[in-house]
Amino acid sequence: MATQRTHIMVCGGTGCVSSGSLDMVDSFKAKLTEKGYQDEITVIKTGCFGFCGQGPIIKIHPDNVFYVQVGLNDIDEIIDEHIIKGRTVSRLLYKEPETHRPLPKHEDMSFYKKQYRIALRNCGLINPEDINEYIAFGGYEALGMALTEYTPEKVIDIVKASGLRGRGGGGFSTGLKWEYTRKPASDQKYVICNADEGDPGAFMDRSILEGDPHSVIEAMTIAGYAIGASVGVVYIRAEYPLAIKRLEVALDQAREFGLLGKNIFESGFSFDIIIKLGAGAFVCGEETALIHSVEGSRGEPTKKPPFPSIEGYHKKPTSVNNVETLANIPPIITKGAEWFHAIGTEKSKGTKVFALAGKINNVGLVEVPMGTTLREIIYDIGGGIIGGKAFKAVQTGGPSGGVITTADLDTPIDYESLRAIGSMMGSGGMIVMDEDDCMVNIAKFYLDFTQDESCGKCTPCRLGTKRMFEMLEKITEGKGTMEDIEKLRSLGHAIKDSALCGLGQTAPNPVLSTLDYFYDEYLAHIVDKKCPAGACKALAKYKIDPVKCIGCSACARVCPVSCIDGKPKGKYVINEDECISCGACFTACRFDAVIKP
Amino acid sequence: MPIKSLDELRKIREDQVKKVKLRESGESGDNTVEVLVGMATCGIAAGSREVLNRLVDLIGEKSLDHVKVIQVGCMGYCHSEPTVQINTPGKEPIIYGNVKGDVVDDIVEKHILNNEILDDHVLIKTFNSAL
Amino acid sequence: MSEVFEFDKATEKLKLLDAFIETQPTKEEAVISVLHKAQSLFGYLPPDLQLYVARKLDVPAAKVYGVVSFYSFFSEEKRGDFTINICMGTACFVKGIDKVMSEFSNQLGIKNKETTADGLFTLNDVRCIGACGLAPVVMINDKVYGHVKAEDVGQIIMDCKEQKGV
């Protein structure tokens, strides 16, 4: 076998394929063979480079040169100049938007700095069941430094100065939470890790616990040292068996290495962690409800104040921190507050992990600095919408959040900006929706979720979300009235103002946000009795399958409102605006071409 | 064998650091090839356990003592599960997606034994890490 | 207490449950953990078993029932050999899980939360199982099926039946 000196990597991701990258693979191969280089140079079709906005993309390996927007006409030049003469074709290099400086190496491009892994740094890189590998990548160094070089106050100062805010959704300063928990005098305090990832569509906490459980253990121990606690509890969903198993293995190894237990690093500080399983209740993500569940009771929230930092688990001061928040702690300690503070926006520091799902090509887990725009996440990293359909909205914040439309795609994401456009950060689920998704139906989906998950303790949430759900059901069945819209609005605001906990207070958000941005769709359901996206079955109309239709005109002849157009032997089409859904065409068609709604 | 001080921890880290080099930059003290298999819930559901078992079988059959199979967590490429990363000394790590059926055999036969990169399955690392 | 003791190997299972209860540091706080254990041993939590747990932990039966009825993970009904968990997460919803659900429902002739007469299948909607990358997702016992289409349903049911040798 001849030595292969160069690989030409052609992006075979959906975005680049649609702009013709597959033809380029063939063309490269043909031209290389023509010139006799076929044994030395391999052409490889790769997966998505995650830079779909600039496709088709080609990378020359091992020179590490990155060409963008390459066309079939450029192939000769790349072969003649780059491959044969070793000269970079600077015309095709990516140019930095601000300076217009061409950048040959893709690692230098600001785009690739967009995906920066802090919380996920070890996921996919280390064996989660081998503590040695975690240590090899710098693990437990932060704990060692904290225990032997810093006072608890200093640790809190570092976390405060870093600007880290809770990643579970609320966005409260982690350092402040620790400080408030440290202050009160008490014989015992607790650290609780909230791993009750209940937002449907979010899976970053599960991925961290499955891929890097030691980072959570290390961070909880640091938190324990900072606030003066000797016991930690991981409250984890019973639906995550693999995460539970990996965590148990990691806890045993940490104990064996003396990184949990008595007198850690001979500092006099002792700490251990127990696991408590959840049992399927969304409300347990709320910290007071979570504490009741850890105590073995129904997970019903209680009024704040008192905050858990004063009166939490066993009525003792307790700091409840989310998994992703904790995973950020070790690098903050080892690299310093300034390093972390330099990433992100003015008020939101560091990165955020998003679970990108729904109608998107590159479904996946992405970690980007705060301030990245939704457009970059959806189009560049996510590779755009499946099947080239039109983007309609992205839902963030799960059942507590709202929808974001095309108009706000260029908003830099942080806690404040998302709230300003009627959504919220939430835990990081990001569900992308296309033209086939009905926004009223989506709002109904979330309200069905919250009314079912409402714990029932306070009336606004227990009854209010149920009533909202019923109204949405009416609307999707075509039985809604304009009065229902007003009722949804006023009830929504009433629930926001009066519900006991965060679940109830945010439950109306999906409805209020879709009412704001997709009022037309509500109107279409109520006034025209139509579902524009064709998702609400009760409102769906009969359709004719153009492949099966032979143009016999039988349907048009029986239609009582004459809403079927077409010419004999051509294709017939039902005018949905006029269709009264009588079904006469369906019965008349002998070729199964009429599709029942 | 509890770790008693930061120095002891750093000593363990130094002993382990060879692997770090291979995984990050392809530098290595020996000729060990590492095969990382993404074994988070999504990966397993997509068949990564079968991939891991097949790899172990093949490596055993062919007595490839220099090849080590390691399970890791989620790499983030949910759209192309199962995912496998090959770290060869002196080379940039290669990530493969949609590794199913015969692709596993090809990885061993073509990539590990013959240094041929498999067309159609290469994924590009799209992020930097704070390590 | 009749129902609990009609179980296959009921005494043995209760012994295991007792031993587990012994390991718990506090009784009142152990309610959820003990119920998890009880459900894993018996498959579900009938009233008599709840009463047994309450007496063992020395807490009111009302508290145990309160916990069982609050959390969706606990079931008071006997389940089939295969619990077909249909993921109702947002990603699965958007990718059309409703069609998969109705196909299972049609082919098995049962509604959500019901069990087939032969005791083989229970149809159950669950909250997001976090495998959104594979949406729409169905989890049968511990096995996750990704990218499930309505057309795949028949084969999945056949696979289960084959496993059971039916």
Cβ-based burial of A97 (10 A; exposed 0-12, middle 13-18, buried ≥19): exposed
**B41 interaction partners in chain A (CB closer than 8 Å):** 203, 206, 210, 240, 242-243
Q: Tell me if C75 is assigned to some domain.
A: no
Which one-letter DSSP state was computed for residue A349?
B
Give chain B's domain count.
1
Rounded distance between C-alpha atoms, residue A358 and residue B33, angstroms = 36
C135 at the A interface (CB within 8 A)? yes
B73 at the C interface (CB within 8 A)? no
Single-letter residue type at B105: D
Considering the domain architecture, whether residues A254 and A148 belong to the same structural domain is answered as yes
Considering the domain architecture, whether residues A59 and A153 belong to the same structural domain is answered as no
- Residue-wise over A44-80: b if at least 16 C-beta within 10 A, else e? bbbbbbbbbbbbbbbbbbeeebbbbebeeebbeebbe
pLDDT value for C1: 47
The minimal CB distance from A115 to the residues B38, B75, B128 is found for B128
Rounded distance between C-alpha atoms, residue A142 and residue A134, angstroms = 12
B101 at the A interface (CB within 8 A)? no
Angle at B101 between CA B99 and CA B105, to 5 degrees: 85
**81-100 of B, contacting C, C-beta below 8 A:** 81
- Domain final position from A81, A113, A145: A113
Other chains touching A, judged by 3 or more CB pairs under 8 Å: B, C
**Which chain C residue lies closest to A455 (C-alpha atoms)?**
C70
Query: What mean pLDDT is predicted for residues A36-50?
Result: 78
Query: What mean pLDDT is predicted for residues A198-205?
Result: 86
Q: How far is C91 from chain B (nearest CA, A)?
A: 13
Q: How far is C47 from chain B (nearest CA, A)?
A: 34
Contact between C94 and A278 using a beta-carbon 8 Å cutoff: no
pLDDT value for A583: 80
pLDDT value for B129: 80
Q: What is the pLDDT of residues A400-448, one digit of tens each?
A: 999 999 999 999 999 999 999 988 998 899 999 999 899 999 999 999 9
pLDDT value for A348: 96
Considering the domain architecture, whether residues C27 and C86 belong to the same structural domain is answered as no
The Cα-based distances of C146 to A124, C86, C87, C92, C129 in angstroms read 21, 11, 10, 10, 11
Q: Tell me if A344 is assigned to some domain.
A: no
pTM: 0.87
Rounded distance between C-alpha atoms, residue A373 and residue A395, angstroms = 14
Paired sense of beta strands A41-46 and A6-11, if any = parallel
- Domain final position from A434, A450, A481: A434
Considering the domain architecture, whether residues A141 and A189 belong to the same structural domain is answered as yes
Q: Tell me if A533 is assigned to some domain.
A: no
Q: Which residues have CB under 8 Å from A420's CB, separation 6+?
A: none
Query: What mean pLDDT is predicted for residues B32-38?
Result: 92
| CB A132, CB B12: distance < 8 Å | yes
pLDDT value for C166: 72
Query: What mean pLDDT is predicted for residues C4-19?
Result: 83
Q: Which candidate in B39, B96, B124 is best for mutational testing of the A interface (most A CBs within 10 A)? A: B124
Q: Which residues have CB under 8 Å from B105's CB, separation 6+?
A: B54, B58
**A455 interaction partners in chain C (CB closer than 8 Å):** 70
Q: Tell me if C77 is assigned to some domain.
A: no
In the predicted model, is pLDDT for residue A159 greater than 80?
yes
Rounded distance between C-alpha atoms, residue A533 and residue A541, angstroms = 11
Contact between A240 and C95 using a beta-carbon 8 Å cutoff: no
Q: Helix axis angle, A213-227 relative to A152-162, nearest 10°? A: 120
| CB A392, CB A442: distance < 8 Å | no
Query: What mean pLDDT is predicted for residues C143-160?
Result: 92
Considering the domain architecture, whether residues A163 and A308 belong to the same structural domain is answered as yes
The minimal CB distance from C28 to the residues A239, A296, A449 is found for A296
H-helix or E-strand containing A464? helix A459-476
Query: What percentage of residues in chain A have a pLDDT greater than 90?
Result: 61
Q: Which candidate in C94, C101, C126, C129 is best for mutational testing of the A interface (most A CBs within 10 A)? A: C94
Q: Tell me if A394 is assigned to some domain.
A: yes
pLDDT value for A306: 94
Q: Tell me if C47 is assigned to some domain.
A: yes
pLDDT value for A66: 83
Q: How confident is the model at residue A512 (pLDDT cuts 50, 70, 90)?
A: very high
Query: What mean pLDDT is predicted for residues A470-480?
Result: 95
Any idea what the CATH number is for the domain that residue B113 is in? 3.40.30.10
A433 at the C interface (CB within 8 A)? yes
Q: Tell me if A365 is assigned to some domain.
A: yes
pLDDT value for A1: 36
Q: Tell me if C148 is assigned to some domain.
A: yes
Position of tokens 């496993």? C163
Q: How confident is the model at residue A111 (pLDDT cuts 50, 70, 90)?
A: low
Comparing A290-304, A315-329, B5-19, C77-91, the range with the smallest average pLDDT is B5-19
Which one-letter DSSP state was computed for residue A389?
P
Considering the domain architecture, whether residues A480 and A398 belong to the same structural domain is answered as no
Angle at A130 between CA A125 and CA A136, to 5 degrees: 60
Query: What mean pLDDT is predicted for residues A506-535?
Result: 94
Q: What is the pLDDT of residues B77-121, one digit of tens each?
A: 888 889 999 988 877 788 999 998 899 999 999 999 988 888 778
Mean pLDDT of chain A: 90
Rounded distance between C-alpha atoms, residue C3 and residue C158, angstroms = 32
Nearest to residue A457, comparing CAs of A495, A491, A500?
A500
Rounded distance between C-alpha atoms, residue B1 and residue A400, angstroms = 47
Paired sense of beta strands A231-236 and A261-264, if any = unpaired
Q: Tell me if A545 is assigned to some domain.
A: yes
pLDDT value for C97: 93
Strand partners, A93: A67
CA–chain centroid gap for A191, Å, is: 26
Q: Tell me if B18 is assigned to some domain.
A: no
Q: What is the CA radius of gyration of chain C?
A: 18
Q: Tell me if A125 is assigned to some domain.
A: no
Considering the domain architecture, whether residues C105 and C136 belong to the same structural domain is answered as yes
pLDDT value for A501: 93
pLDDT value for A291: 97
Q: Tell me if B131 is assigned to some domain.
A: no
**Cβ atoms within 10 Å, residue A110:** 11
Position of tokens 């949609």? B98
pLDDT value for A442: 94
| CB B42, CB B33: distance < 8 Å | no
Strand partners, A191: A232, A319
Q: What is the pLDDT of residues A574-589, one digit of tens each?
A: 887 788 777 888 888 8
Considering the domain architecture, whether residues C16 and C55 belong to the same structural domain is answered as yes
Q: Tell me if C8 is assigned to some domain.
A: yes
**175-214 of A, contacting B, C-beta below 8 A:** 203, 206-208, 210-212
**Cβ atoms within 10 Å, residue A23:** 14
- Domain final position from A417, A434, A451: A434
Give chain C's domain count.
2
Q: Tell me if C76 is assigned to some domain.
A: no
Q: What is the CA radius of gyration of chain B?
A: 16
SS (H, E, C) chain C: CHHHHCCCCHHHHHHHHHHHHHCCCCCHHHHHHHHHHHHHHHCCCCHHHHHHHHHHHCCCHHHHHHHHHHCCCCCCCCCCCEEEEEECCHHHHHCCHHHHHHHHHHHHCCCCCCECCCCCEEEEEECCCCCHHHCCCEEECCEEECCCCHHHHHHHHHHHHHHHCC
Q: How confident is the model at residue A350 (pLDDT cuts 50, 70, 90)?
A: very high
Contact between B1 and A257 using a beta-carbon 8 Å cutoff: yes
Q: Tell me if C98 is assigned to some domain.
A: yes
Considering the domain architecture, whether residues C96 and C148 belong to the same structural domain is answered as yes
**A203 interaction partners in chain B (CB closer than 8 Å):** 41-42
pLDDT value for A98: 61
Q: Tell me if B42 is assigned to some domain.
A: yes
Q: Tell me if A272 is assigned to some domain.
A: yes
Any idea what the CATH number is for the domain that residue A147 is in? 3.40.50.11540
Position of tokens 């196909």? C103
**B41 interaction partners in chain C (CB closer than 8 Å):** 129-131, 144
Q: How confident is the model at residue A561 (pLDDT cuts 50, 70, 90)?
A: confident
Which residue range(s) make up the domain with C36? Answer: 2-70
Contact between C130 and A203 using a beta-carbon 8 Å cutoff: yes
Considering the domain architecture, whether residues C16 and C49 belong to the same structural domain is answered as yes
Q: How far is C18 from chain B (nearest CA, A)?
A: 32
Helix, strand, coil abundance in chain B, percent, nearest 5:
40, 20, 40
Which residue range(s) make up the domain with B106? Answer: 26-123
In the predicted model, is pLDDT for residue A127 greater than 50?
yes
**Cβ atoms within 10 Å, residue A560:** 9
In the predicted model, is pLDDT for residue A2 greater than 50?
no
Which residue range(s) make up the domain with A275? Answer: 131-338
Q: What is the pLDDT of residues A310-330, one digit of tens each?
A: 999 999 999 999 999 999 999
Considering the domain architecture, whether residues C41 and C66 belong to the same structural domain is answered as yes
Any idea what the CATH number is for the domain that residue A103 is in? 3.40.30.10
Considering the domain architecture, whether residues A451 and A479 belong to the same structural domain is answered as yes
**B42 interaction partners in chain C (CB closer than 8 Å):** 131, 133-134, 146
The minimal CB distance from A201 to the residues C63, C67, C128 is found for C128
Q: Tell me if A87 is assigned to some domain.
A: yes
Rounded distance between C-alpha atoms, residue A519 and residue A2, angstroms = 65
A346 at the C interface (CB within 8 A)? no
Q: Tell me if C12 is assigned to some domain.
A: yes
Q: What is the CA radius of gyration of chain A?
A: 28
Other chains touching B, judged by 3 or more CB pairs under 8 Å: A, C
Q: Tell me if B9 is assigned to some domain.
A: no
Query: What mean pLDDT is predicted for residues A367-386?
Result: 90
Give chain A's domain count.
5
Q: What is the pLDDT of residues C82-134, one digit of tens each?
A: 999 999 988 899 889 999 999 999 999 999 999 999 999 999 998 888 788 78
What value of ipTM does the predicted structure carry? Answer: 0.90
